[in-house]
Amino acid sequence: MTRTRTAILISGGGSNMEALIKASQSDPDYPAEIVLVISNRPKAAGLTKAASLGIPAVAIDHKDYDSREDFEAEMQRQLISHNVDFICCAGFMRVLTGQFVSNWAGRMINIHPSLLPKYKGLNTHARAIAAREPWHGASVHYVTADLDSGSVITQIRVKVDDDDTPESLSQKVRAQEHNLYIRALKFALLDFTPRDPSTSDKR
Ligand code: GRF
């Protein structure tokens, strides 16, 4: 079976990244092959983790670039040079330009720690607690130009307990995110058609 060449974009610890890499390495029938990890933060712990799992791990520090477009041009260069066909954002903390998003339309997904469409953006756990939500959770969705607004592929929900803090709730949600992302990526690739290699330089 041909597996889809997939990159993961991170900024931090990379626990979701690690789960996706392990799923792809442990199951030859998993439809994604993780071929590249990119972090915009050179010190992201996820980079070391990816390298120790044998995955090319590249730091592209956004602070080294004058504009978002220049930063993304370097990401694009890396993605193309590794023949990447699909992108998973996993704790990637940079807003992407409309141009980059449209280049990867239908080929880029993200995991967000809330039951979308509720709580787009940051501090989702604290906001859910403040609103006395009985349920919170995580969603995997397609990336579109509007932040956290693309079609949802799948979600998990987690009970919010009376004594939950943003930290405890974040841990409970994170523990469920890994299997969620593994399932969502598999689902997203079910009817995915890889690009024609002859047009791959137009990504
Ligand atoms: C996760 O909570 C994810 O939902 C959010 O960023 C966090 C990344 O965690 N987008 P990790 O780096 O995968 O551990």
Every domain of the chain and the residues it spans: 4-195
Q: Indicate the CATH number of 4-195 among 3.30.565.10, 1.10.8.50, 3.40.50.170, 3.30.365.10.
A: 3.40.50.170
136 catalytic? Reply is: no
pTM of the model: 0.95
Which of 9, 16, 116, 152 maximizes ligand 1 atoms within 8 Å of its Cβ, making it the mutation to test the pocket?
Answer: 16
Give the model's confidence band at 193: pLDDT under 50 very low, under 70 low, under 90 confident, else very high. confident
The better pLDDT of the pair 121, 192 is held by: 121
How far apart CA 57 and CA 67 sit, in angstroms, is: 23
How far apart CA 114 and CA 126 sit, in angstroms, is: 11
* pLDDT tens-digit readout, 124-146: 999 999 999 999 999 999 999 99
- 16 CA distance to ligand 1 middle (Å): 6
- 174 CA distance to ligand 1 middle (Å): 7
- 14 CA distance to ligand 1 middle (Å): 7
